[in-house]
Structure 1
């Protein structure tokens, strides 16, 4: 069996952990420098994955924007832009989305029910792959490995990030933290409630801390984690 791809989760959040606000216009959490950083990460990957909710809300193209980076990919024998992947349980994707009309190879992972609904309408636009009765992200990664995908960038949304972290399937988490507060319970959050491996006592490794303009960049390695074993409480009072 081919090795699963290296999975990198990429996300921009507010200080209070939101991906967006609840308004009709997308809240831009990144700054121009950070958008360029994300473009560089995209250019270094073989495929980019998003969920159906992100496609419907943001209608992204998911392309490498830099001419120089696209040229470097071509010179290295790679496609101009990474493969684009959508995940949808119900198969309800509008074929007019920009996702389907820009870039090269496109895959849609779905269920048997979703495939029956979307295969016809997406014919000629994307390959539709059924994962059976439900979305099995481990099986999805196995399939991408067989297709030669070595490095996968996951760009959201919250349900997708939650599924990868809850399934212990993420190798790296790049989190850009914007200096804004959303504070609206109607807005989408980075993560949903889930049974995460190890629970709150498992600590990710903080591999790097950086700054991109007014945005803080945190790099975590989710699998390099150890549970607390010292028996000490989480919040220690300062001795008087």
Structure 2
């Protein structure tokens, strides 16, 4: 089965941060953009977040619009996309909201953590080991076998870095908010990694539009831009 089409979704400050260092989640988007994201979720077959994001934000990760859920069901799909997480350690509480809202869930982990995570979660999620380490290629293969055609990846830093550095992302949905964080220890969209093309290739910019007071940009990282620096 083919692997899913992978979309990375992120909102950052002007200086590239996805949050600040306070205990309160930094809201970078606005109501219009949250509604846009709800549509993107409704158009996806699965939504993925990493364990660090689950522990920090404790999201439900749902399609909030009743009309969009009804449209999914009318198209023969479940009301909610499959919810997916990845955890190397398996250290995820069974009390997190992620497990108790929406439809089916899958947790990808390692051989060392799988047994304990299965015992902790029980019937809350299907726990799948990708081997001795987290293998994102194996994760995509398994999702393809499950019939997932479009995967929305919502973070955080380590997960986005893994997908992009391993050339597994087909699109990037980047929103830039009119805020400056300026905190060296705050999390960024991407971390240091051996990216396959680094600074030698410009991505294709497929779309730009204003959504309220933020800017939405859609990049195609596997496609090289035809526009040179002097064009």
- The TM-score, its normalising length taken from structure 1, stands at 0.93
- Residue segments in structure 2 that go unaligned for 5+ positions in a row: none
CA distance in 2, matches of 1:90, 1:144: 21
- What RMSD, in angstroms, separates the aligned Cα atoms of the two structures? 1.4
CA distance in 2, matches of 1:226, 1:174: 16
Secondary structure (helix, strand or coil) at the match of 1:93 reads coil
Residue aligning to 1:21: 20
Tell me, yes or no, if the aligned pair for 2:58 and 2:98 is still in contact at 8 Å: yes
Residue aligning to 1:206: 205
Matches within 5 A, 1:210-229: 210-225=209-224
1:177 aligns with 2:176: yes
Alpha-carbon distance, 1:227 to partner: 9.9
Tell me, yes or no, if the aligned pair for 1:198 and 1:227 is still in contact at 8 Å: no
CA distance in 2, matches of 1:180, 1:168: 29
Residue aligning to 1:80: 79
Note the alpha carbon deviations across 1:109-165, whole angstroms, 9 max, x for none.
Answer: 000112122110011100100001001111110110011000000000010000000
Q: Which contiguous aligned blocks of 4+ residues in structure 1 show a shift greater than 6 angstroms?
A: none
Note the alpha carbon deviations across 1:142-190, whole angstroms, 9 max, x for none.
Answer: 1100110000000000100000000000000000100000000111111
Matches within 5 A, 1:139-218: 139-218=138-217
Note the alpha carbon deviations across 1:60-79, whole angstroms, 9 max, x for none.
Answer: 10110001101100111100
Higher mean displacement: 22-31 or 196-205: 196-205
- Residue segments in structure 1 that go unaligned for 5+ positions in a row: none
Residue aligning to 2:34: 35
Note the alpha carbon deviations across 1:13-52, whole angstroms, 9 max, x for none.
Answer: 0011101000000000000000000000000000000000
Q: Higher helix fraction: Structure 1 or Structure 2?
A: 2
Secondary structure (helix, strand or coil) at the match of 1:90 reads coil
Tell me, yes or no, if the aligned pair for 1:206 and 1:218 is still in contact at 8 Å: yes
Secondary structure (helix, strand or coil) at the match of 1:174 reads strand
Higher mean displacement: 115-124 or 30-39: 115-124
CA distance in 2, matches of 1:41, 1:110: 26
Matches within 5 A, 1:124-135: 124-135=123-134
Tell me, yes or no, if the aligned pair for 2:204 and 2:226 is still in contact at 8 Å: no
Q: How many aligned residue pairs are there?
A: 230
Which structure has the bigger radius of gyration?
Answer: 1
Alpha-carbon distance, 1:95 to partner: 0.3
1:137 aligns with 2:114: no
Tell me, yes or no, if the aligned pair for 1:177 and 1:217 is still in contact at 8 Å: yes
1:98 aligns with 2:97: yes
Alpha carbons of structure 1 residues 91 and 227: separation in structure 2 relative to 1, 3 Å:
farther
CA distance in 1, matches of 2:70, 2:225: 41
